[in-house]
A and B are shown apart, each in its own frame.
Chain A
Amino acid sequence: MQNSPQSPIIEASKLTKQFGAFTAVDAISFEVERGEIFGFLGANGAGKTTAMRMLTGLSRPTSGQARVAGIDVAAHPEKVKQRIGYMSQKFSLYEDLTVMENIRFYGGIYGLPRKQARQAGSQLIEQLGMEAFARKQVSGIPLGWRQKLSFSIALLHQPDVVFLDEPTGGVDPVTRRQFWEMIYQAAETGTTVFVTTHYMDEAEYCGRVSIMVDGQIAALDTPDRLKSEFQAANMHEVFLQLTRPKP
């Protein structure tokens, strides 16, 4: 029951999560196409992370359905996990392990054969230009490098979709730029990128953008069309118009 290349890689229909009386995600529906860079925007507490956790199988939806790579996430969370990569908001690397040890470990738990994991590891380090850090503990390397490394590790097992939760938070502009170049590279090789961000300039880089307000999707389209629809000069204004309290 694999989906055909034409069908969407992520399908959410009426996806809902309630914590007691509070509805964090309120029946959202959307689709993401294969190879797309999909921006997932929203103010703090709008429900972005909760929605993403449901898509990755970390959190069980209260109601509604999510399919990733054609698999029902709630029904087969472990199957989905083979097909996705994830980079969490918190540190996803072990600070007390070296760069190489982190790569080897994550390669291992995704079932990469030892030889392949080692090759992928050295290749990855070379690509990132991290040779100087390879034998250093992660706690001792700069944040920007760590984030690039986390991303590469999330791609190590060549997933269909990679979920990035605020990957560039607290990173300097130059590194952010480099990070986005990596995202484009991944998308070019056919990996779908699902990314949440705070930075509105980054929203411009996305193929399509959804903006969440109070648990619902308030707008979803390409950045250009959103800008013309809201008659705004940039995404920042679009965002402000949507999230500003209604009079």
Chain B
Amino acid sequence: MRAIPYIVQKEFLQIFRHRIMLPLIFVMPVLQLLVLSFAADYEVDNLRLHINDLDRSQASRQLVGHFQASPHFTLTGNGAGGAGQIHRGEADLLLEIPLGFNRSLAKGNRAEVQVAADAINGVQAGLAQAYANAIVQSFSRQFSGPTRGLLSIETANWYNPGQDYQTFMVPGILVILVTLVGMFLSGMNIVKEKEIGTIEQINVSPIGKGAFIVGKLLPFWLIGMAELSIGLIAGRLVFGLPLAGSLAIIFVFAGLYLFVVLGFGLLISTFTETQQQAMFLAWFFLIIFILMSGLFTPIESMPPWAQALTKGNPVAYFVDVMRLVLLKGSGWQDVQPHFGVMAVYAGAVNTLAVLNYQKTN
């Protein structure tokens, strides 16, 4: 056990010997956090809209005005030729107001407008249609409907009244960055010593397997915790990330979670012979973990078998805990199951890593 501080010291020396590692580990992720959190936004503004107003009446001009006033749309043209624009990728949406639009409305009949969207990006098209729908509905309200004034539905958006998408994404992206750095650094670590040959020198020494693994884990654990702290501060300063719950829960959970991630990385490291192998194995698991974590798409929208799979995904737990505690202020009791699963996971993965690390073959 006395040997542990020496291993920790040596790992730190080696990690930061390459001058570029310091910025790669601490500056790049924060930069990524800022950039990606802005990018990861499903709200669409400035959709390019082409309008073909065949009616050219007072009502149709009024409808066009409604569209012009919306922040979601930018008018790129009016008249025929919208289909070509969409084909060339110059417009996202085409609104066609048919001849006789005004007349139908004046008679109190129903009228129809057509919205054609470039739907290759299904998400964007769906949103565009929803925005258009809302504008048309609000336009048509002046012509009165049957339930007008009788039914009112009010929506209260809890925990995020401004429906700010970034406060939703920042905690999740932070989890991903901490996971990426931790998993790759630890995953390539032991295998690097194997590749260079220094592992032999360790293996003929009397150092215990457990002490060796712990000594390897600690440096990355500290780096991971530092990374998380920096990320949280950056998120707070730039995005005004709320802190509804207790920071202690976040850090205790992160500490536990990092043992899972790093143990997983070391396990990969003991399984592989080259750093390249280790990296690809880590990639394989990470990409599945990330995609199935509920970060980009809600877990609720997965089929039951996939939802069951997420129960074994450590990333999903941490993303969930971050959002629950930071945004909703959930307490110890609310996230107790998460802690339980993580503790079992950490124990299992690290035991496996120690067992699989063979000093004698």
Contact = CB atoms under 8 A, between A and B. Distances in A.
A217 interface: no
Nearest to A89: B197
Contacts of B198: 90-94
B196 A105 contact: no
B211 to A, nearest CB: 9
Contacts of B360: 57-60, 77
Range for the number of chain A residues in contact with chain B = 20 to 34
B200 A92 contact: yes
A67 interface: no
Contacts of B200: 58, 86, 88, 90, 92
Interface stretch (B4-12, B41-49, B169-177, B179-187): B4-12
Q: Which of A92, A104, A137 has the most CB of B within 10 A?
A: A92
Contacts of A60: 360-361
A160 B249 CA distance: 52
A1 interface: no
Given A91-B196, A92-B198, A59 B206 contact: no
A201 interface: no
Nearest to A102: B10
Given A59-B361, A108-B5, A109-B7, A84 B204 contact: yes
Range for the number of chain B residues in contact with chain A = 20 to 34
Interface in B193-213: 196-198, 200-208
B197 A90 contact: yes
A110 to B, nearest CB: 6
A105 B9 contact: yes
A190 to B, nearest CB: 20
A111 interface: yes
Interface in A179-225: none
B206 A91 contact: no
B3 interface: yes
A77 B196 contact: no
A94 B361 contact: no
B148 interface: no
A57 B201 CA distance: 12
B205 A81 contact: yes
A56 interface: yes
Nearest to B204: A86
15 contacts: A60-B360, A77-B359, A78-B206, A86-B200, A88-B204, A91-B196, A91-B198, A94-B14, A97-B13, A105-B6, A106-B201, A108-B6, A108-B7, A110-B206, A111-B206
Given A106-B205, A109-B205, 10 more contacts: A57-B359, A58-B200, A59-B360, A85-B204, A86-B201, A91-B197, A96-B17, A108-B6, A109-B3, A110-B3
